[in-house]
Amino acid sequence: MNIHENYEVEYWSKELGISPEKLREVVKEAGTTAEAVREYLKNKSYHHEPENM
């Protein structure tokens, strides 16, 4: 995942059900592979959670 490419950020944030900002944070923590990001989200319970309003 290249967080410097807007089209990738848009695709992956929709695919994973998280905001672009959260995706950037997770990639910084977990790494750039889809597997690492998914595992991080699974362990942190961020996957498909609605954002607080």
- What are the structural domain ranges in the chain? 6-44
Instruction: Express each pLDDT in 40-51 by its tens digit.
Output: 999 986 545 454
pLDDT at 53: 41
How much is the pTM? 0.78
**Long-range Cβ contacts of 18-25 (<8 Å, 24+ apart):** 18/46, 18/47, 18/48, 18/49, 19/51, 22/46
Tens of pLDDT, residue by residue over 2-53, are 999 999 999 999 999 999 999 999 999 999 999 999 999 999 865 454 544 4
